[in-house]
Chains A and B, each alone.
Chain A
């Protein structure tokens, strides 16, 4: 097989994409392009790339300015596959590269397999309601992938390979400021246990009951989109769903969340899902491992009693 490229938002994600490339084809040579400096490029080699390019975030321009150089190189090198982080910058790069190469691109492709020149895989449609299985035969096929789609191999510092960089296009849009987010005290992406709240909570103050339960079982608190985006009762980083966080905790305890496809998509990889909803018809029940039909005002105290007693 011809080379597989990985283009990544950061080194940990590059390691995941490299593991993906090795899963798809063990023999292919992997060329990595990583946002960062020389040490990130060397890190990609330690994780299994044969050679690597570092693409530092320009201080005064957008990172997507590497697209023309990447496209020129892709046209010359003709990689069979280009795997990219499904991050904002890399998704933009993926689509621009795909257009410049007149190539197909799987967005958040799952189960990617290659047979001869034909690449197949799944993408989700209608907010996670269904998976579309599609195939494409092309010189180069692009795929964006999630940050946890594959288990990265541990780094082998003894590996070596050539490291280089690429030029930024001259007419790249200017960046006048970067304002980091205020530091978040929670990282629901890493939490093993999550208690999540939805519109079944009619008042912001009521969320405190969910927090009490979360503390009792050592969980973080997340929410559905309306709680963060419309009511702004919780920070945006806390909402789970197709346009929010996609997480895979050991336990996802959904309280007062109806269970729309867009929300379920964010927890489809959770090990165990528990739903609590007073509506017996709530979609979440049929998509849970265990469910209790009941009002959280009764269920949360009962759970606390069961934990403590």
Chain B
């Protein structure tokens, strides 16, 4: 069990964080570090790609919520790419679908940032 994190620059000043694996109490600090580093560098428009994430728990959700709060303080935004029905269900039952922009593909998530 592990999480792979890949950060890449995209259009404009937006950055994409590709995540692959499982986000839980053990792996979420690695995700938090990657998001925190981007924000500390002044990047406030982020797309977090969860397409290859098989599992997320409340600590993972907490990391995403924390990132969103911080970028919003600077007028930025976090959009998510997610197609996994089980993960979408978690966002649905926690009400986070109303807080995050959740898209089926990266292009749509990126377009909605601007």
Chains A and B form a bound pair: no
